A and B are shown apart, each in its own frame.
Chain A
Amino acid sequence: MSHIKYLLLVSRQGKARLMQWYTPFTPKQKTKIINDLTPLILARKPKMCNILEYSDHKVVYRRYASLYFICGITNDQDNELLTLEIIHRFVETMDTYFGNVCELDIIFHFDKAYDILNELIMCDGSMAESSKKEILNNVHAMDAIVSNDHLDRVLS
């Protein structure tokens, strides 16, 4: 099973769009990882494989349009292919949620993207729910509660 150590979303321009750390890193380490990985991955050619070794662990990434989804996983223990599947599942889910997701959606609704990610991947980096339907149900349910809250507030 893949246990993701961190997930980064980086744009083609090298801007971080989303980052979730499942392992406690110090801020210094975090910046180092981002600064190291971004140019490394952006420089890779389309036909190259999506796995690279960095420091003591492996990094699996996948490009969707202008966005790179980057996951750090443990060497020898995690399944790289499955990690790619998880990334794809995340993108699929966002795609359904936002309806044809694009980079701007993620920029402006980064909290929603986090919500979906939290439903998909547990806070320890393991996959929590592999069913897209289930995730969307949960996120929509939460949204409904939130809008109810808003309504309550307006009515009061």
Chain B
Amino acid sequence: MTSLYAPSADEVMQRLRPFGFFFEKSLKDLIRGIRSHNDTPEQLELFLEGQLSECRQEANSSNIELKTNAVLKLTYLEMYGYDMSWCNFHILEVMSSNKLQQKRVGYLAASQSFHKDADVLMLATNLLKKDLKYGNSNDVFKVGIALSGLSTIVTPELAKDIVDDLFLMLNSSKPYIRKKTITALYKVFLEYPEALQSNFDNFTSKLEDTDKSVVSATISVICELSKKNPTPFIKLSPLLYEILIDINDNWIIIRLLKLFSNLSKIEPKLKGRLLPKIVELMDSTNAASVLYESVNCIISGNMLDESDYDVAFQCLEILSKFCNSQDSNLRYISCVLFYKIGKINTIFISQYDELIMKLISDIDISIRLKAIELLEGIVSEDNLKLIVSTLMKQFMGDEVAIIETSRGNSKEIPIIIPDNYKIKIVNVILNICGMNNYLNVDDFEWYNAVLYDLAVISLDLSENDLGSKIGNQLRNLMVRVPDIRHTTIVNIIKVTSLDSIEIRLPTILESCIWSLGEYATYVENGDALIKLFIKKGLHMQYLTQDSLIVALVKLFSSWCTRNKDQANYVKDVLKELVAFLAQTNYSKSFEVQEISVQMSEILKLSLEALEEQSDEIPLLLAEVLPSFFNSYELTPISLGTQKQLPKGIDFDIDMPFLTKEELDNVLADQETLAEEDVDIYDSDRFSLASDNYHYPPVSEYEDRSSDDNETDKFKDTYNDFDDETYKEERRKEALSNPFYLDQSIGNGNHDNLNDILATDNDQREKTPNAIDIIKINSNKDEISHEAVKAKHKKKKKKTKKVKVLADQTIVIPGVSNISTYNKNINSTSPSSLPSSNKISLRTHTKLEDFDFAEQNKNDSDEDQELEKLRSKFEEQIIKEDNLNNSEGEEVVVIKKKKKKKSKSKSKSKEDGMLKKKKKEHTSNEGNQEINSPIIEENAFPYTNEKSKHD
């Protein structure tokens, strides 16, 4: 029986709570619970769900301690991914508690969950204002917590409301508060840059604060701000420079160096002052991080020119020391810097080839990944093979790292080569070999073998890009290096007949197949190849099929001109080909469909012709079909040439090439010609077969095709006539003519075929039997490329030096240079494009867009001062140079002095800034003259301000 006065269970709990007895689950219980329910994810989930609903109840209770406890637990659970924004208002209540512990929990929770929750933040503003008021000594931490919390949750509105309170606090007597205020101001400035504009001096005066940690915080905030917008801070540089000279705290030095590298990016004149100081620092310091930062500052602050060999080599010496060290972190970061130096001028790093070779065999893959980028800087004709073979060996994956265990034994751990590294290797090999139009490659047979190996390796790498890159290289070899086309084509055939390549590396095929088609004359057994492709063709990508169809026709035409005597076999192959095209005629891809229909029409005609005269190859196959492909040798043309063509020319597609009268004349000629034609043709063929020596070598074709042929052609047609009625007539004809497509092919490829067209026009009323027409009009100028090439190749093989064709540029008057266009292409590398998938650290802040110039308009005095400062900087540099030249000895003396000074400083490290300054003054008084060139107080108009702030 319970007594009337006996307290209820609830009351007992209430009374015991202040003594630290909790009956709800504390955070510790929660953590223990999580640990004991850890067996399966489902179990844990269940447990956490239960806890979460408990927390929900506790958070809703009126008891502030219960609420705090719940919020703390929720903060912990947030780490497991449970959203806690639903209890933002409860957090606010906990934040407003007077107890420090609860406030701490509240702010911690707020910093995790308050992101941009406008409603809560509005309420939080007043609370923050209250918390930032400094009452008694215990309030230091309250303010500190509030400041920390503030900067994680600040929004533009909040920043605006709170900024005045913050500036008041900058004058607080407690360094702790000043320090925290400054860092909190950083976030405020990002959201509300106007505050920085109006309080710039007030803020920057903290650079001269008596407390070192405040100075340090100020420097680091300015450093961060200058990343976003360095312009307003340039005028601080004299002051900052002085701090850099005075201070011997490595943390602050590094921050200053960062800051200076940001400033120097936009103010090149700083270099003159800073560089000597940084070099001096590099000589005197032992700390790796300072050395690293110094080098980094020189590089990223644009202080290293292409011609600064001394500085560059000094930097590189440090880096090479790092690279040789045992510490893998040092090796890694110096690799990155190496790369940056190499980017400025590759000559700088070219002598470090041994070191870089060592680095690409580092046991740490991430270092290799960095070092491999350096290869472009050191590659030359002499070491290319070595580099490539080193890299190729790494594909084997049989390397081991020897790691010493704690007991003194060493054990071997195999180095796992990740796929992304392999992909990079392939890319780099392709890059360094293809550089400068194969400048470094002297043995193309070897390069062919390398490409084949790379293709085999790439089969297992799931990176489609590689296929097209290797394919491009093979095609480039084919086009650009005529002397080894025989080897290359064998290689290409090897690659294309790799097992299941159309599935595992489909992208390589497009270029390969194109090359096979274009250089079909090198292929002896085109029939086998055709059969192979017919088998594989339907499984290829549409893009590949596109080039496949044309290549098949090319292969076929070149093969059947070789095998004229086997008419029956040719017929069989042709049938197979037509059957294949019949399938692609219904392809889902329009491109494939179009090209397929075009080609199959021609082939069907050929087949008909073949069936008519089964004992010998018809003319259509022997002469006309090859003539589609062989009139011009294709040469490499520089990227973007097509874009250089003048825009806005009106092409009238319907306009015929000849006027009515001209046409009549031609037709009249044609009729008389046609009678004689058979004889001409026969004699012509004879000459083709017997002597090929008259045909111009390849180089002449190049000339012919290069310059103004095409433009002239355009002009001629353009200037000619415009006969409206004739046009109308032609259009009708075109509509009714089923071979219109074929005609256009002929037109595009060949001016020689114009006469075919003409007769075609003439005979259109009859049933258009293209075979007859074309047979009669086979053009005389038809050139047997096969023969010429064979000839050419033989000649070439005798000469040892391999000729690599360079890009041709076509100069069109009145159009800007192509090279500029190329540059544009290079500058927009795909890596610079932001991809939505990636997590980006870059957060856009208002500060970046903020125009500080507005302020400068208001007080143009400052602007002028800045100008003065710049001119003084310049004068000073000149003076210094003179001094250095005339009094080299003295400079050495000064350096010694400095070292001594820093020793004395380190003893009095704890003494604080003010004392140190005094000390310097007293100890340096005797040496004023010697010191003057380095410290140069007069150079800074701002040094006078010092007294104000002190």
Contact = CB atoms under 8 A, between A and B. Distances in A.
B366 A51 contact: yes
A76 B20 contact: no
B461 to A, nearest CB: 19
Contact size range, B: 35 or more
Contacts, number: 173
B156 to A, nearest CB: 14
Contacts of B152: 123
Nearest to A151: B18
Given A1-B255, A107-B31, A33 B839 contact: yes
A76 B403 CA distance: 31
Contacts of B224: 1, 3, 124, 126
Interface residues of A, number: 64
Contacts of B403: 45-47
A1 B838 CA distance: 25
A118 B148 contact: yes
A156 B116 CA distance: 39
A66 interface: no
Contacts of B104: 111, 115, 142, 146
Given A123-B187, A126-B221, A74 B841 contact: yes
A95 to B, nearest CB: 20
Interface in A54-72: 55-57, 72
Interface in B579-602: none
A130 B304 CA distance: 32
A56 B100 contact: no
B72 A154 contact: no
A49 B141 contact: no
A47 B18 contact: no
A29 to B, nearest CB: 5
Contacts of B220: 1, 126-127
B258 A77 contact: yes
A98 interface: no
Chain B binding site: helix, strand, loop or mixed by DSSP? helix
B792 to A, nearest CB: 49
Interface string B326-345: 00111111000000000000
Contacts of B116: 24
A120 to B, nearest CB: 11
Contacts of B288: 81
Contact of B223 (A1, A76, A110, A129): A1
A145 B141 contact: yes
A124 B847 CA distance: 15
Interface in A32-91: 32-33, 45-53, 55-57, 72, 74, 76-77, 79-82, 84-85
Contacts of B81: 27, 31
B409 to A, nearest CB: 14
Q: Give the interface centre of A45, A123, A128 by most chain B CB atoms within 10 Å.
A: A123
A7 B382 CA distance: 47
Contacts of B27: 108, 111
Contacts of A57: 841
B151 interface: yes
A96 interface: no
Nearest to B291: A81
A84 B83 CA distance: 31
Interface in B778-798: none
A56 B838 contact: yes
Interface in A126-151: 126-131, 134, 138, 141-142, 145-146, 149-150
A49 B151 contact: no
Given A79-B293, A128-B183, A153-B18, A122 B840 contact: no
Interface in B213-243: 213, 216-217, 219-221, 223-224, 227
A129 B332 contact: no
Q: Give the interface centre of A48, A55, A122 by most chain B CB atoms within 10 Å.
A: A122
A25 B289 contact: no
Nearest to A130: B251
B329 A51 contact: yes
11 contacts: A49-B367, A50-B328, A55-B841, A77-B258, A108-B27, A108-B28, A111-B27, A111-B75, A114-B108, A124-B151, A146-B104
Interface of B: 18-20, 27-28, 31, 72, 75-76, 79-81, 83, 99-101, 104-105, 108, 111, 115-116, 138, 140-141, 144, 148-152, 176, 179-180, 183-184, 186-187, 213, 216-217, 219-221, 223-224, 227, 251, 254-255, 258-259, 288-289, 292-293, 296, 300, 328-333, 363-367, 401, 403, 413, 838-843
Given A128-B213, A129-B179, 5 more contacts: A1-B219, A56-B840, A122-B184, A124-B151, A130-B251
Which 8 A-B pairs rank lowest in CB-CB distance, beginning with the nearest? A49-B328, A1-B255, A122-B183, A81-B289, A123-B151, A49-B332, A146-B101, A48-B364
